[in-house]
Amino acid sequence: MSTVGKQFPDLSVNAMNEMGDTININVLEEAKNNKKKVLLFWYPKDFTFVCPTELHAFQEALSEFEKRNTIVIGASCDTPEVHFAWLNTSKDNGGIEGVTYNLLADSNRNLASTLDILDSTNERYDENTGVLLMDGDNVSFRATYLINEEGMVFHEGINHMPIGRNVNEYIRLIDAYTYVQEKGEVCPANWEDGKDAMNANREGVQEYLSSH
């Protein structure tokens, strides 16, 4: 079920910060208490292949998100200790040394289960053993959530494991949402900061279409 237009789940999760400390983060409170937007992105596993490219890409764009009053948080179902080891592995060796934003360690899968983003659809009951078996690793898809200053989700997206994200698209989405917040207009297809928006009525649409 989609979370768009709803409050993000009010759950606290262990996390690892850049200093190597295990901390506790509630994403909803991060947004509301700091009056900031939050970009939360999930990835399947530490020490894999596509995942470090994404974490480095978000790090490279971190200043752009900060300019937009947005906190970036990464998340997987690995433990804080595995996050710490990955943070201390060099980029040349497939690590994420240099990443400075917090990483959720949802090893009990409470939040990922609540969001229904786990690759756990292939469950089967073994009649011989009486055990519920699961194919795969029960890790998260590449799910991304954009949350406003009041804790409401205004964007969610889920990628299959092999497909990496375009970080610039999230910057564009934040720009568009902020424009709507500030101007009250709506943003048409392929809108980017600096382009024309339009009024949300028939006349506004006709005027926009006739001039583009």
The residues annotated as belonging to the active site are: 51
User: Using N-to-C axis directions, what is the helix angle for 167-183 and 50-60, rounded to 10°?
Assistant: 40
CB atoms within 10 A of CB 160: 8
The amino acid at residue 111 is L
The phi, psi pair for 105, rounded to 5°, reads -120, 80
Terminal C-alpha separation, the chain: 36
Pairing of strands 131-134, 123-126: antiparallel
Which residues have C-beta within 8 Å of that of residue 154, sequence separation ≥ 6? 4, 5, 146, 147, 148, 177
Instruction: Output the six-digit token pair for 6.
Output: 């709803």
Q: Tell me the β-bridge partners of 155.
A: 146
Pairing of strands 131-134, 142-147: unpaired
